[in-house]
Structure 1
Amino acid sequence: MAGIYLHIPFCKQACHYCDFHFSTSMGLKEQTVQAIARELVLRQSYLQGQTVQTIYFGGGTPSLLSQAELQLLLQTIREQFIVSGDAEITLEANPDDLSPEKLQELKAAGINRLSIGLQSFHEPHLRLMNRAHSATESINCVKDAQAAGFDNITVDLIYGIPAPDHTIWLKDLETLFALGVPHVSCYALTIEPDTALGRWSKKGKFKPSEDDFTARQFELLLDQMQQQGYEQYEISNFCLPSHESWHNSNYWRGVHYLGVGPSAHSFNGHSRQYNVAHNKKYVDALGQDTVPFELEELTPADQANDYLLTSLRTSWGCDLRKLREAYSYDVYTNHAPYLHELQQKGLASIKDEVLYLTAKGKLLADQITLDLMVEQQET
């Protein structure tokens, strides 16, 4: 099984926290869609005949695509690749785009899963982040999607936004649970340098939350999700039983995927490809039947580190035997005292040679992963 990711690099306006590749100018939108369709044809052999189980429209704001543009891209995929009959086809959407009419267009185009970027139900927080929708639209668009027959819905929320206490965050979660969506992705507000919040922070115009405040909101999130019957199957992702994201789960399991569009990444097990993050350069290159990308060949150390990075974030954990047998990296040999320390501190557990992070350990996942990674000079 394999996946296809399509990066749609257009947005109505720039969110103050976002550092993904996008443009607020729609001047090249039609040409970019045509170029993406052309890239799909040129990259037909990349997945080597594997069946495509998941298709994911990300961005940017893919809900800005017209029904005809979506149908063109999906038709091209079906013409060039073997697509599973029950493929998960996800489209990221902003609430202000999801009118009842738009929802019917998406269903008609073949979208069967929606990822809705709510981020917050608190109006001042939406304004701080420069979101284009209101808190009321956040609620109504989910209800409209459900009424339109979309039962596979995920929504995004952001925590760690500066506030006097945790009341707003708990209210956001209460509102979320009332909507009954089966999947939720929750991310800490991260201040990237090349964003409005990053520039304001540097100038002293914005003060990010303290780490302890954000960590406490994460703990509250874990507690509330558990109470409501959601499984934390990856650090930032929660679902009701049998509603995991197939596409993202495949990323974490190391399944191969093709990424098309400006700035999209691809992975085939032994290398990664990175498309140019520039719309015009991308369009111009595809006009000459050239895919503009950089190639990174993965060393055995890279592959081991990739596996550590992804698997430790999940509920199924990091198989230490796989690290040893597939990547020739023995964590016991290299980090036995550290593994013992993690278990003694209640940060991790090991069962049947699978390393799992505890709820407490997930707060330190990045550092733990870094500590366990293979040093490049060892290869």
Structure 2
Amino acid sequence: MHLYLHIPFCRQACHYCDFHFSTVLSQREAMVKAMVQELTIQKAYLVNKKLTSIYLGGGTPSLLSEKQVNLLFDKINLLFSIDVDAEITLEANPEDLTPEYIQTLKKTGINRLSVGIQTFNNESLRHLHRNHDSQQSTRAIKNAQDLGIENISVDIIYGLKDHTLTDTEYDIQQAISLEVEHISAYSLTIEPRTVFGKQKEKGLFKELPDNQMAAHFELSHQLLQSAGFEAYEVSNFAKNKRYSRHNSSYWNQEEYLGIGPSAHSFNVQSRQWNVANNKSYMLAIEQGNPHFEVENLSPENRINEYIMTRLRTMWGLDLAYLKQSLEQINQSLPRTEIEEWKEKQWAKEIDGFLILTESGKLIADKLSSDIFLI
């Protein structure tokens, strides 16, 4: 079982991000107290189940003070059973990872950091409206390693404005040189509600053409795999099998509870999500009645989710399991599409599993939608 805590605060809005957050940092204490209350209210969601991962995401969880982190973990330890080797991750911005703050995190049991570096190009960092520079990125990772946190992931975004393949190669090689065991490499995606999205509407921002973005994708995969990283998901790479246990739970349809505004929960049969508004969230919690919506998942929904998530991973689709699931609702395996994928070298079948090739990963979302149940 897995626990996610959404910390909805940032110092400033990154120009590409459409996650739920607020820059009103004075609300942090009240928000953490509300989340502590929600943990109590929702504890039955995880009844009799041991936590194997805890993930503090955001937003910027590294904006929490020592007191606020302790409030959350004191309640988690009181309410839930935590596996002795649980993966406990905190997302952090480089500028927050001072030696003193890392020591604070270690005391709570946090044993993994996910650091939002994005790029080592200072001009591009300013364009993204990030609050750190490349020197702080390197120092943050070294601080954590020196203090004994070995399980570190860094985020890199490729396809940035004016970036060439040489720029992408530099960013990936710099990330590799940090000697971390997990790297997430994402293409820049322009979302409508973001600053970049609004600039795009006005014709002031242009995304890279698909063929150029594909070249950045292929280069990042090539460089990372040559350096010994396993591409275990379309955008995620790990050395020494240091896969993100928490994120893998999403791709493997495992149960998880989400706490905080906009957080999602999943128990196989249904999905629920909290209101994406800090004020409404805290008011509802204060009244003892969390504000969330629930979607009961039909067998078709569950099969579609299995296809969408597993096809993005190196483990691929278990064709026997998929066939059995489809037969239960009088559907058959999409053999025509599967054979086409293999013929066009978008996928290969290994020991009964359908696994995307590098060229297939480029169009993973399209391939998934081609065999969705409508």
Instruction: State the TM-score bracket (shorter-chain normalisation).
Output: over 0.9
**1:341 counterpart residue number:** 340
Distance, in Å, in 1 between the alignment partners of 2:327 and 2:44 is: 29
Structure 1 position 330, deviation (Å): 8.8
Alignment deviations for residues 323-377 of structure 1 (CA, whole Å, 9 cap, x no partner): 23245469993522221111011000122321111111000100000001111xx
Work out whether residues 39 and 75 of structure 2, in 8 Å CA contact, stay in contact via their aligned partners in 1. Answer: yes
Could you say if the C-alpha distance between residues 277 and 145 of structure 1 is closer, same or farther in structure 2, counting changes exceeding 3 Å?
Answer: same
Distance, in Å, in 2 between the alignment partners of 1:25 and 1:210 is: 37
Letter in 2 for 1:163: D
**1:150 counterpart residue number:** 149
Could you say if the C-alpha distance between residues 329 and 167 of structure 1 is closer, same or farther in structure 2, counting changes exceeding 3 Å?
Answer: farther
Which deviates more, 13-22 or 209-218? 209-218
Work out whether residues 324 and 330 of structure 1, in 8 Å CA contact, stay in contact via their aligned partners in 2. Answer: no
**1:34 counterpart residue number:** 33
Alignment deviations for residues 126-175 of structure 1 (CA, whole Å, 9 cap, x no partner): 01110000111111111111111110000000011122621111111121
* 3-state DSSP of counterpart to 2:26: coil
Alignment deviations for residues 76-112 of structure 1 (CA, whole Å, 9 cap, x no partner): 1121111111111000000011111111111112210
Q: TM-score, normalised by structure 1?
A: 0.96
Which deviates more, 332-341 or 289-298? 332-341
Distance, in Å, in 2 between the alignment partners of 1:262 and 1:16 is: 21
Work out whether residues 323 and 329 of structure 1, in 8 Å CA contact, stay in contact via their aligned partners in 2. Answer: no
Q: TM-score, normalised by structure 2?
A: 0.97
5+ residue gaps in structure 2? none
Letter in 2 for 1:296: E
> Structure 2 matches for 1:1-379, cutoff 5 A?
2-163=1-162, 165-326=164-325, 328=327, 333-375=332-374
Letter in 1 for 2:265: S
Alignment deviations for residues 243-274 of structure 1 (CA, whole Å, 9 cap, x no partner): 11111111111110000000000000000001
Structure 1 position 214, deviation (Å): 1.0
Letter in 1 for 2:291: P
Structure 1 position 178, deviation (Å): 1.1
Letter in 1 for 2:39: L
Work out whether residues 115 and 153 of structure 2, in 8 Å CA contact, stay in contact via their aligned partners in 1. Answer: yes
Work out whether residues 52 and 83 of structure 1, in 8 Å CA contact, stay in contact via their aligned partners in 2. Answer: yes
Work out whether residues 304 and 329 of structure 1, in 8 Å CA contact, stay in contact via their aligned partners in 2. Answer: no
Letter in 2 for 1:44: K
Structure 1 position 242, deviation (Å): 2.2
Alignment deviations for residues 280-309 of structure 1 (CA, whole Å, 9 cap, x no partner): 111111111111100000000000001001
Which deviates more, 96-105 or 17-26? 96-105
Work out whether residues 322 and 333 of structure 2, in 8 Å CA contact, stay in contact via their aligned partners in 1. Answer: no
Work out whether residues 272 and 298 of structure 1, in 8 Å CA contact, stay in contact via their aligned partners in 2. Answer: yes
Work out whether residues 28 and 280 of structure 1, in 8 Å CA contact, stay in contact via their aligned partners in 2. Answer: no
Work out whether residues 323 and 330 of structure 1, in 8 Å CA contact, stay in contact via their aligned partners in 2. Answer: no
* 3-state DSSP of counterpart to 1:77: helix
Could you say if the C-alpha distance between residues 57 and 164 of structure 1 is closer, same or farther in structure 2, counting changes exceeding 3 Å?
Answer: closer
Distance, in Å, in 2 between the alignment partners of 1:76 and 1:48 is: 15
Structure 1 position 124, deviation (Å): 1.3
Could you say if the C-alpha distance between residues 114 and 97 of structure 1 is closer, same or farther in structure 2, counting changes exceeding 3 Å?
Answer: same
5+ residue gaps in structure 1? none
Letter in 1 for 2:347: A
Counting matched residue pairs gives 374
Alignment deviations for residues 189-213 of structure 1 (CA, whole Å, 9 cap, x no partner): 0000100000011112222211111
Which deviates more, 43-52 or 229-238? 43-52
Which deviates more, 157-166 or 53-62? 157-166
Which deviates more, 158-167 or 331-340? 331-340
Distance, in Å, in 2 between the alignment partners of 1:315 and 1:363 is: 14
Could you say if the C-alpha distance between residues 16 and 61 of structure 1 is closer, same or farther in structure 2, counting changes exceeding 3 Å?
Answer: same
Work out whether residues 326 and 332 of structure 2, in 8 Å CA contact, stay in contact via their aligned partners in 1. Answer: no
Which deviates more, 163-172 or 133-142? 163-172
Distance, in Å, in 1 between the alignment partners of 2:146 and 2:351 is: 45
Structure 1 position 50, deviation (Å): 1.3
Distance, in Å, in 2 between the alignment partners of 1:365 and 1:332 is: 22
Distance, in Å, in 2 between the alignment partners of 1:275 and 1:313 is: 26
Distance, in Å, in 1 between the alignment partners of 2:185 and 2:287 is: 41
* 3-state DSSP of counterpart to 1:28: helix
Could you say if the C-alpha distance between residues 329 and 227 of structure 1 is closer, same or farther in structure 2, counting changes exceeding 3 Å?
Answer: farther
Work out whether residues 323 and 332 of structure 2, in 8 Å CA contact, stay in contact via their aligned partners in 1. Answer: no
Letter in 2 for 1:212: N
Could you say if the C-alpha distance between residues 271 and 124 of structure 1 is closer, same or farther in structure 2, counting changes exceeding 3 Å?
Answer: same
Letter in 2 for 1:188: S
CA RMSD, Structure 1 to Structure 2 (Å) = 1.4
